[in-house]
C-alpha cells in the first residue's frame, strides 16, 4: 500500500515543477527504481492513473527503469550483480558484502509542454 504514498509524492513533485516552469501539461515522467526497492511498478501506475485525473499530469506517461543490484565484496573487492536472493561472493564465498546500487528510487526527469503564445 505504500505505493499510494509514492504515487502521491511523484504527483506532487511533478505538479510543483510544472507550475514553476509555467507548463500546460506534463507529458512524461522518468523514474529509476532499484531492484531491491519494494516498489511495484504496476501499483504505482494504478495509483497514478487515479490520482492524476483532472491535474496537469493527467495522461502523463510513467517510464520505469529498473536499476540492477550491484554488490561489492569487502573481503576480496569483487563486484557482482545480484540476480535473485542474496548469495555469498561468487569469487571468495565471503559474506562481508556492501550494496552499491539497487535501493534507489528517484525521479530522473520530467518532460513538460508549454502553451505557444
Could you report the per-residue pLDDT of 69-103, keeping only the tens digit for each? 999 999 999 999 998 888 899 999 999 999 999 99
Q: What is the rounded CA–CA span in Å between residue 19 and residue 55? A: 11
Q: Tell me, yes or no, if the pTM score tops 0.85.
A: no
Answer for the pair 32, 109: CB distance below 8 angstroms, yes or no.
no
Answer for the pair 48, 10: CB distance below 8 angstroms, yes or no.
yes
| Domain 2-68+102-113: top CATH class | alpha beta
Say if residue 78 is exposed, middle or buried (CB neighbours under 10 Å; 0-12, 13-18, 19+).
middle
Q: What is the total residue count of the chain? A: 117
Sequence ranges of the domains in the chain: 2-68+102-113
Cell (9 digits) for 49: 492513473
Amino acid at each position: 500500500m505504500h505505493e499510494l504514498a509514492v504515487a502521491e509524492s511523484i504527483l506532487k513533485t511533478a505538479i510543483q515543477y510544472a507550475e514553476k516552469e509555467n507548463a500546460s501539461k506534463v507529458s512524461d515522467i522518468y523514474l529509476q527504481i532499484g531492484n531491491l526497492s519494494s516498489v511495484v511498478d504496476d501499483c504505482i501506475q494504478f495509483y497514478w492513473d487515479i490520482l492524476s485525473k483532472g491535474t496537469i499530469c493527467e495522461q502523463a506517461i510513467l517510464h520505469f527503469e529498473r536499476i540492477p543490484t550491484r554488490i561489492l565484496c569487502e573481503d576480496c573487492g569483487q563486484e557482482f550483480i545480484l540476480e535473485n536472493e542474496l548469495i555469498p561472493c561468487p569469487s571468495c564465498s565471503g559474506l562481508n558484502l556492501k550494496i552499491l546500487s539497487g535501493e534507489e528510487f528517484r525521479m530522473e526527469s520530467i518532460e513538460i509542454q508549454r502553451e505557444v503564445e
